[in-house]
Amino acid sequence: MAKSSSEQGSYAPKNILITGAAGFIASHVTNRLVKNYPSYRIVALDKLDYCSSLKNLNPCRSSPNFKFIKGDIVCIDLVNHILISEEIDTIMHFAAQTHVDNSFGNSFEFTNNNVYGTHVLLEACKDTQNRIKRFIHVSTDEVYGETDMETDIGNPEASQLLPTNPYSATKAGAEMLVMAYHRSYGLPTITTRGNNVYGPNQYPEKLIPKFVLLAMKGEKLPIHGNGSNVRSYLYCEDVAEAFDVILHRGVLGHVYNIGTKKERRVLDVAEDVCRLFGLSTKEAISFVQDRPFNDQRYFLDDQKLKKLGWDERTPWEEGLKKTMKWYTENPNWWGDVSLALHPHPRISMGAHSNDESWSLQNETATTKESAVESSSGGLKFLIYGRTGWIGGLLGKLCEDRGIEFEYGRGRLEDRRSIMEDIKRVRPSHVFNAAGVTGRPNVDWCESHKTETIRANVVGTLTLADICEEKNLLMMNFATGCIFEYDKDHLQGSGIGFKEEDTPNFTGSFYSKTKAMVEGLLKEYKHVCNLRVRMPISSDLGNPRNFITKISSYQKVVNIPNSMTVLDELLPISIEMAKRGCRGIWNFTNPGVISHNEILELYRDYLDPQFKWENFDLEEQAKVIVAPRSNNEMDGWKLKKEFPELLSIKDSIIKYVFEPNKKA
């Protein structure tokens, strides 16, 4: 059992790396630590994006214990170099894209920064051979999702994560990585989840500085929806003190809410700003269209952090006056912020070069025209995964059926090359059969995590984001290996995991990435996510074929599983594209079949002399690196759409064993 902070004593870092240090909250933390702890050496890392500024660090830039490095956390070589050359023992990870409005317009950049960037840091820490003594990961209250308006009980740190927008989904995904590295590698992590923060230096895309600057200009204060959404606000200096406390007294492996029980409606905030400026609320406030989804309330249980010795010090009225005073004295701190003051800002986050921005702007009409041409002249598929098994089978199937198609040339992580593919092909649909499953199996992913997340998460989301932008349906071949039998889905019960169920299997890194990207893809309306399991085909010479695999093993486990017969289901994927199917689908044949049942069919149809042995999961664990997923998928949704779909055993006999017996 972990000792209390008082029993542990106060942690004393030597060299602290603060990521995103020139941003709003991190700059206040950096300035505080540099000033209050001259024996600590603070290394500030920031790529100086649109919402950060070196001016935010003016109070500490001349201090002998401060060093600034301009750079991006997604650069693994830079991060490794800094950790080693600066002898870093502590990381406070603030760097992130945080503005929810932007996440609706450019969600890929949020995944790249918030998920991939965090993963780069974690992997670099893992490779420092225990030099890192404390890794503080800064998350958000939004990962909890919406809080019931009727409850007076805030979300404790053990609450389920239920993010509702692309921003919070990426922060939840990053948290899962932090948790995994703590459990798998013993990385000394602490996670924080905070309420809204306000005060000096904040970029005016956020509510309070936006309202203050608009009031200064005599312009209307735009409120999304009816303004009834409730938020809790903490003053920046109080939050900096909270991080001070967590740095020195936080318990490793724990999560801390940084919150306040004092709540305000967005409309209340606007009215308070109006009062400070002597404005009429009726004349100064305007109501505009709401976000695509706007959580009604976030409410935290703040007791755990208070037990460490922290408490909110700055009353709302005092903090708001300080904030107003700072902005009136520094109206040009951020330069031209006219775009940020728009009711629904879409700030460019540097995801594309100027050339690509021109390309995106000028291709819109062309792409719409091409979609019309495709729908009137027939199907045309753009397929990714040419060298893969499923991608190759899809191409052959299209050839056999006379469906026009082309394979993508670009790498999925490269947004520009995908845009060029779409401009060149002008597809009616996009099929994604690319990704990393491992070479020769998922164990490979355990030692190649950066490559796995780049292909399975970043690449898939890049393609989904572009398809959403271009109004193209993306058929994504995903996996059902994100579940395992549990008390509600017992082996042999016939109760399968449904499309809406939350993944519960995290035994392999491959499955973690697939579960993560599935959660993020839910935010896209133009994606059909097909959960494939243990794929089987009539080609018994293919080493990826599940039957080929187990027939070559000396010993196999004997567990019933849902599986996918590609000969039957790949043609169905094309039909689903024609029908415009969207959302998540369990892409397996109905029912389950065990390893022994398959090998018995193999013996009866193909090789009467064939023999095998069984071993249990405990024995299997000795010869594999990562555990394997075993589960039953509920096939009702797909069977309802395609009533002729055969059960797994009947499909294997019809499409695999009978043709091979004849051959």
Based on the domain organization, do 131 and 241 belong to the same domain?
yes
- Chain segment 557-588, per-residue pLDDT in tens: 899 999 999 999 999 999 999 999 999 999 99
pLDDT band at 554 (very low <50, low <70, confident <90, very high): confident
Give yes or no for residue 498 having a pLDDT over 50.
yes
Considering 101, 109, 123, 141, which one is annotated as catalytic? 141
Residue 411 has a pLDDT of 86
pLDDT at residue 294, rounded to an integer: 62
Are 255 and 391 contained in the same domain? no
Q: What range defines the domain where residue 254 resides?
A: 15-202+233-262+297-309
Residue 444 has pLDDT above 50, yes or no: yes
Same domain for 301 and 445, yes or no, is no
Helices marked H in 307-426 = 316-329, 354-377, 389-401, 415-425
Of 330-339, 367-376, 397-406, least confident by mean pLDDT is 367-376
Residue 371 inside a domain? The answer is: no
Contact 73, 79 (CB under 8 A): yes
Residue 28 sits at φ, ψ, to 5 deg, of -70, -40
Residue 444, token pair as written in the block: 């490979």
Kindly state the average pLDDT of the residues 618-632.
79
Q: How high is the pLDDT of residue 200?
A: 97
Q: Are residues 303 and 416 in the same domain?
A: no
Report the 3 state secondary structure along 147-203.
Answer: CCCCCCCCECCCCCCCCCCHHHHHHHHHHHHHHHHHHHHCCCEEEEEECEEECCCCC
Residue 466 is predicted with a pLDDT of: 95
Question: In this predicted structure, what is the pLDDT of residue 4?
Answer: 36
Q: Quote the pLDDT of residue 79.
A: 92
Residues ≥6 apart with Cβ < 8 Å to 250 = 5, 11, 134, 136, 190, 256, 308
Which position has the higher pLDDT, 374 or 391? 391
Q: What average pLDDT is seen over the chain?
A: 87
Q: 303 and 397 in one domain?
A: no
Is pLDDT at 231 greater than 90 in this prediction?
no
Sequence-ordered list of residues with C-beta below 8 angstroms from that of 507, at least 6 positions apart, any chain: 484, 626, 627, 628, 629
Average of per-residue pLDDT across 420-430: 94
Does 367 fall in a domain? Answer: no
Instruction: Report if residue 321 sits inside a domain.
Output: no
The DSSP call for residue 40 is S
**Which residue among 309, 331, 347 closes a domain?**
309
At 607, the pLDDT band (50, 70, 90 cuts) reads very high
Give SS3 for 391: helix
Burial class (CB in 10 A: 0-12, 13-18, 19+), 361: exposed
Residue 452: predicted pLDDT: 86
538 & 649 share domain: yes
Going by pLDDT thresholds of 50, 70 and 90, the confidence category of residue 435 is confident
User: Which has the closest alpha carbon to 640: 561, 576, 563?
Assistant: 576
Q: Which of 101-105, 432-436, 466-470 has the highest mean pLDDT?
A: 466-470
User: By C-alpha distance, which of 546, 528, 504, 539 is closest to 648?
Assistant: 546
Query: What are residue 633's phi and psi, to 5 degrees?
Result: -100, 140
Task: Answer yes or no: is 488 within a domain.
Answer: yes
141 is catalytic: yes
Structure tokens belonging to residue 488: 């509600």
Q: Does 23 have pLDDT greater than 70?
A: yes
- Please tell me the distance from the alpha carbon of residue 227 to that of residue 201, in angstroms, as a whole number: 25
> Considering 142, 241, 302, 443, which one is annotated as catalytic?
142
pLDDT digit string, tens, across residues 91-140: 999 999 877 766 666 678 888 889 999 999 999 999 887 899 999 999 99
Domain assignment present for residue 215? The answer is no
pLDDT: which is higher, 446 or 539: 539
Query: How many distinct structural domains can be found in the chain?
Result: 2
Q: At a CB cut-off of 8 Å and minimum separation 6, what does 116 contact?
A: 74, 453, 454, 457, 458
Residues in the chain: 663
- Work out the average pLDDT over 323-348: 83
SS3 (DSSP) at 25: helix
Tens digit of each residue's pLDDT (9 = 90 or more) over 138-187 = 999 889 988 776 667 778 898 889 988 888 899 999 999 999 999 999 99
> Burial, 162: exposed, middle or buried (Cβ in 10 Å; 0-12, 13-18, 19+)?
middle
Q: What is the model's pLDDT at position 1?
A: 31
Q: Give the span between the Cα atoms of 565 and 601, in whole angstroms.
A: 15
* 642: number of Cβ within 10 Å: 14
Amino acid identity, position 437? T
pLDDT over 60 at 218, yes or no: yes
For residues 200 and 105, the model is more confident at: 200
pLDDT at residue 361 is higher than 60: no
Q: Is 355's pLDDT higher than 50?
A: no
pLDDT (0 to 100) of residue 6: 36
Say what angle helices 117-126 and 76-85 make with each other, to 10 degrees.
40
Domain co-membership, 588 together with 477: yes
Tell me what pLDDT residue 369 has. 33
Contact 417, 411 (CB under 8 A): yes
Q: Is the pLDDT of residue 360 over 60?
A: no
Q: What integer pLDDT is reported at residue 623 of this predicted model?
A: 65
Residue 3 covered by a domain = no
Task: Kindly name the residue from 72, 123, 144, 167 that is annotated as catalytic.
Answer: 167
Q: Clarify whether residues 498 and 409 are in a common domain.
A: yes
- Dihedral sign from CA coordinates of 459, 465, 469, 472: positive
Based on the residue annotation, tell me whether 167 is a catalytic residue of this protein. yes
> pLDDT-derived band of residue 616, with 50, 70 and 90 as boundaries?
confident
**403 with 574: CB under 8 angstroms?**
yes
Alpha-carbon dihedral sign for residues 266, 268, 270, 276? negative
Q: What pLDDT does residue 257 have? A: 95
Distance separating alpha carbons of residues 514 and 460, to the nearest angstrom? 10
Mean pLDDT, range 332-355, rounded to an integer: 64
Q: Strand 380-384 and strand 429-432: pairing?
A: parallel
Is residue 330 scored above 70 in pLDDT?
A: yes
Distance of CA 400 to the CA centre of its chain: 38
Q: Most confidently modeled of 20-24, 280-284, 372-376?
A: 20-24
93 and 242 inside one domain:
yes
The answer to whether residue 348 sits within a structural domain is no
| CA-wise closest residue to 561 among 531, 594, 587 | 594
- Residue 101 has what pLDDT? 63
Q: What is the DSSP string of 213-237?
A: HHHHHT--EEEETTS--EEEEEEHH
Q: What are the residues whose beta carbons fall under 8 Å from the beta carbon of 269, sequence distance 6 or more? A: 207, 208, 211, 231, 233
Q: Where does a domain end: 309, 341, 373?
A: 309
Torsion, Cα of 643, 648, 654, 657 (10° steps)? 170
Instruction: List Cβ neighbours of 617 (8 Å cut-off, separation of 6 or more).
Output: 557, 559
Give dist(CA 565, CA 573) in Å, integer: 12
Confidence label for 544 from pLDDT (cuts 50, 70 and 90): confident
Residue 511 shares a structural domain with residue 636: yes
Q: At residue 306, does pLDDT exceed 80?
A: yes
On whether both 305 and 428 belong to a single domain, the answer is: no
437's tokens:
């499953």
Residues 498-512: b if buried by 16+ CB within 10 A, e if exposed: eeebebbbbebbbbb
Is 545 within the bounds of a domain? yes
The pLDDT of residue 596 is above 90: yes
Rounded-to-integer distance, Cα 400 and Cα 243, Å: 62
181 is an active site residue: no
387 vs 283, more confident: 283
CATH number of domain containing 442: 3.40.50.720
Give pLDDT tens digits for 508-528.
Answer: 898 899 999 999 999 999 999
Q: What is the C-alpha to C-alpha distance for residues 600 and 340, in angstroms, rounded to an integer? A: 66
Percent of the chain with pLDDT over 90: 66
Instruction: Give Rg (Cα) of the chain.
Output: 27
pLDDT of 25-45, one tens digit each? 999 999 999 999 999 999 999
Cis peptide before 440 (omega within 30 of 0): yes
For range 194-220, the mean pLDDT: 93
Confidence class for position 663, pLDDT limits 50, 70, 90: low
pLDDT attached to residue 291: 62
Are 303 and 434 in a shared domain? no
Residue 488: closest CA among 473, 479, 478, 498: 498
Output phi, psi for 63, to 5 deg. -75, 140
Which ranges of 426-565 would DSSP assign to H, the alpha helix?
443-446, 449-453, 460-470, 509-521, 546-552
